[in-house]
Amino acid sequence: MVDSRAVSSPSQPDEKSRAVLVTGASRGIGRAVAAAFAGRGDRIAVHWSTSRDRAEQVLAELPGDGHVLVRADLADAEAVGRMVDDAAERLGGLDVLVNNAGVFTAHPPLETSWADWQAAWSRTLAVNLVAAANATFRAVPHLIAAGGGAVVNVSSRGAFRGEPNTPAYGASKAGLNAFAQSMAIALAPHDISVTCVAPGFVQTEMAREVLDGPGGDAVRAQSPYGRVARPEEVAAAVLWLASPDARFSTGTIVDVNGASYLRS
């Protein structure tokens, strides 16, 4: 299901307007990413899964015109495929795919039942990793038809440092990094870059419970800046990775964690 809405603000005439699909764009990082692309004159497909009201609010706030809403349960492979094709049809093609949507469910191994452990792994891998792979696969023909483009995946520092209370999340993001690098090699001959941005904690609804809780100060202290990232800071990295200037940086994983975790 796809809804289209025109927004009155004009796009920037001096820049090519690209067609951009952002998954999980109804809140948090995805919302900021959609706004960043729209701010440079791009046409955005705002993906949502469970919160139509929030997605409509994001759509209404985007500058420029030609934006659309697209819906899919990312755990449903066929729905993902239809969603990508619908976005490309409504936007008049596809130049950029941002695989941002993700789930984060606590399941510490010594405190979780067998049933809950299975459910956490199944849902997390389905949404965070397999859905990104399916969306990328379905997007490739559209990107090739456009003469090239970019896929940017929102990963996490948890792929590198480990997530003892959410091991499926860390594993899904590590898998996403490996998938992106494999696709970077496969798609470079078609002038398609595939990259990742790996934030630490970000000031979003997903992290609110932790950041507003008793451990919030300790989380902020992990960075020498004494804070966590703003969604707009992650969006800025995504925007650059999707630009033609970053095409030769394909396969890159950009850390946006305020030096809270440094890797060699």
Write down the pLDDT at residue 133: 98
**pTM of the complete model:** 0.92
Which among 37, 104, 160, 169 is annotated as catalytic?
Answer: 169
Q: pLDDT digits over 30-45, tens only?
A: 999 999 999 999 999 9
Residue 238 one-letter amino acid: V
* pLDDT for 68 beyond 90: yes
Signed CA dihedral, 35, 40, 41, 47: sign only: negative
Report which secondary-structure segment, H or E, holds 56. Answer: helix 52-61
SS3 153: strand
Q: pLDDT digits over 195-230, tens only?
A: 999 999 998 877 778 888 898 999 999 999 999 999
Classify strands 43-48 and 149-154 as parallel, antiparallel or unpaired: unpaired
* pLDDT for 7 beyond 90: no
Render 220-255 in DSSP notation, one character per residue: HHTSTTSS-B-HHHHHHHHHHHTSGGGGGGTT-EEE
Of 2-6, 81-85, 204-208, the one with minimum mean pLDDT is: 2-6
Q: pLDDT digits over 222-258, tens only?
A: 999 999 999 999 999 999 999 999 999 999 999 999 9
Pick the CATH number of 2-256 from 3.40.50.720, 3.40.190.10, 2.40.50.140, 3.50.50.100: 3.40.50.720
Q: Does the annotation count 169 as an active-site position?
A: yes
Mean pLDDT for all residues in the chain:
93
53-68 average pLDDT score:
96
